[in-house]
Structure 1
């Protein structure tokens, strides 16, 4: 089990991690999802012992890992660009972490060979055992890199954009395969990605990060349907933002039929409605301030642009075979199928800040 408390990290004047609190259970597969610069890779490197935080706590199975150097942490780390030894065969690459252990801890040659054979079978690459990295495809190299990380039976397996250098079809195949490997090994695994589909398909839980903070933790459905902050809503593709009014828990605005949205336990007043372009239906309404300014077809979808009487424009994506017959210049009412609402009045209550112990103080 990994326990992270109040972890902070600055690079010069730039705050990269701003008080991270996270618990990962044994055997869990968790994704750190977020855009570039959100702090996810820095957090991974701190767990690996490749970076050091300015403050906070990191414990694995109750042990303080901030007192341990990287080589003592039993970490399996898989990078985006494989980092295989080019002069070693697949078999020797996988065995490497075992063969370089101190003599007192090193398994015998027959034990290492049996371990490597087991992993070659698990990775579905026994036929590649005697090849060199230059003779492998990108997907095969990534399997070897994972095998090398698993060989040492790591306490924690860390994956940093593991499929980022591969094309889309291979990535999909490897995602399914990695999920199967995880279920067979039961490793506690944390992986970094900026790909939403990858995170949601692979992970037991997804941690959405933005600007050094954890914005939301949950399943794919929870994050997709109920983003907890405007940042998460935008990151999930809710690029349509409409000023609305909340009244008795209902969202109201001219040209908007929001009766399909559930009531919100929020105070009356101004709010912002976040919608994905594919979560909006259109209905003819001569009184609406929204008119159709442009439309194109991708074959499967109608891409429409609606223009407000104030000249503001928004995108709407409709399935072509079920879309209404849209006419340029005609007025339409927006009917949200799903959306997120955030009040503009006041701020959400926050927990009292936890006392942060400086690591410098901790060592004295």
Structure 2
């Protein structure tokens, strides 16, 4: 099912949670909504599910206006972070639940439901757990059951809200690969919410980076990592070192900085800020520089260097411990900062944010309409 979202806005009290969301999702695509807490990603997911209602905008799925449909009429598969399994039901009964509560006219027969459950048990590789109860399962097993219950109704759209957030790192990695396989086997249109960059880029066909209720950037891992569209994305993607530089004919310059590796940029001359990841800074000992190594620590694999400018500004560099230069990088050594990669933003004119579309009609939910009639 294809999804088209346009001009979607939402307020809670005086707080703008969504500020004009425009997004298209293709049939069979797996899209990640990535961002920090409070960016609006879960609210957007709940609006698609029919659990929240926007103040304005449109939500069209395969040509149908879903803002005129109640949640139960959208045939959504929703998987929460904390499983939400029925503790008094076996795995088998949890999987069957969505089918058994359908309206009588749409409800499959008992034999059909039983066959569907058996199919899911084997597909999800949990047939040996069929008669257990949720309290007898591990976290990873519960999440598989939760996904199976969502898939049982053959949803038009599958939505996942931080599906692996409550699991430890090793189990999360295993389930990510497993979920990608499930997605490809079912061909479902899937949207999932996460704040984990590795999870988003490993799983998704496209990643939607959100911040403060806006879509900041949409794209694939390499493009977002190497070419962040805004300062927000640059910081969120780990470019935590911000260096003031001067642009001249598209080239960046800065005292104590080696910026020759950076490509020429079509930006106006003048002051700019260079956003750099600590791992893209290589300090090179020199006889004279405004930068010196303030502290040097090691975690075994990498050296963590705190670099201090003569004006008091600090930067952090992350250098492989076995790098050729590593042994020369000791405290109080003057260094030139060789920048391997970074993103420039002109100080005078930062990229404009996406604004909400012109005012759209206020949206009322079917439930609200029924209440007022």
TM-score > 0.5, shorter chain as reference: yes
Matches of 1:352 and 1:131, distance apart in 2: 51
Residues 278-301 of structure 1 show CA distances to partners (whole Å, capped at 9, x for unaligned) of: 111111222211001110111100
* Corresponding residue number in structure 2 for 1:5: 6
After superposition, where does 1:145-294 map in structure 2 within 5 Å? Answer: 145-294=146-295
Q: Closer, same or farther in 2 for the Cα pair 1:235/1:166, shift >3 Å?
A: same
Asked if 2 retains the 8 angstrom alpha-carbon contact of 1:78 and 1:159, the reply is yes
Residue 298 of structure 1 aligns with which residue? 299
8 A Cα contact 2:214 2:354, kept in partner: no
* 2:257 match: secondary structure: coil
Cα separation, 1, equivalents of 2:47 and 2:332:
56
Secondary structure of the equivalent of 2:258?
coil
Residues 262-271 or 67-76, more deviating: 262-271
Matches within 5 A, 1:38-117: 38-117=39-118
CA distance in 2, matches of 1:86, 1:30: 31
Relative distance call for 1:293 and 1:362 in structure 2 (3 A) is closer
Q: Partners of 1:75 and 1:218 in 2: how far apart?
A: 25
* SS of equivalent to 1:293: strand
- Alpha-carbon distance between aligned partners in 2 of 1:327 and 1:88, rounded to the nearest angstrom: 62
SS at match of 1:322: coil
Residue matched to 1:354: 357
CA distance in 2 between partners of 1:289 and 1:297 (Å): 24
Q: Choose 241-250 or 345-354, whichever is displaced more.
A: 345-354
Distance 1:284 1:351 in 2: 43
Distance 1:352 1:112, change over 3 A: closer
Listed as ranges, the gaps of 5+ residues in structure 1 are none
| C-alpha distance in structure 2 between counterparts of 1:362 and 1:47, whole Å | 12
Q: How far is 1:116 from its partner?
A: 1.1
**TM-score with structure 1 setting the length:** 0.97
Which blocks of at least 5 consecutive residues in structure 2 are unaligned? none
Q: Which residue is 1:28 aligned to?
A: 29
The Cα of 1:354 is off from its aligned counterpart by 3.2
Q: Shift of the alpha carbon at 1:114? A: 1.3
SS at match of 1:359: coil
| 8 A contact 2:67–2:363 mirrored in 1 | no
CA contact (8 A) 1:300 1:320 kept: yes
Q: Which moved more, 1:35-44 or 1:262-271?
A: 262-271
* Structure 2 Cα separation of the partners of residues 25 and 130 of structure 1: 38
Q: 2: CA distance between counterparts of 1:353 and 1:326? A: 50
Q: Deviation at 1:349?
A: 5.7
Deviations 1:6-29 (A, max 9, x none): 100000000000000000001000
C-alpha contact (below 8 Å) 2:53/2:364 kept by paired residues: no
Q: Is the 2:57–2:363 contact (alpha carbons within 8 Å) kept by the matching residues of 1?
A: no
Q: Does residue 342 in structure 1 map to residue 339 in structure 2? A: no
Q: In the TM superposition, what whole-angstrom CA distance separates every residue of 1:256-294 from its partner, at most 9, and x where no partner exists?
A: 111101111111111100000011111122221100111
Greater RCO (CA < 8 Å, at least 6 residues apart): 2
Hey, what's the Cα distance between the residues in 2 that align with 1:74 and 1:360? 20
The equivalent of 1:124 in structure 2 is: 125
Conserved 8 A contact 1:98-1:112: yes
Alignment check: 8 A CA contact 1:302 1:323 kept: no
Q: Give the secondary structure class of the aligned counterpart of 1:115.
A: helix
Assess if the C-alpha contact under 8 Å between 2:20 and 2:356 holds in 1.
no
Q: Rate the CA distance shift 1:350–1:43 in 2: closer, same or farther, 3 A.
A: closer
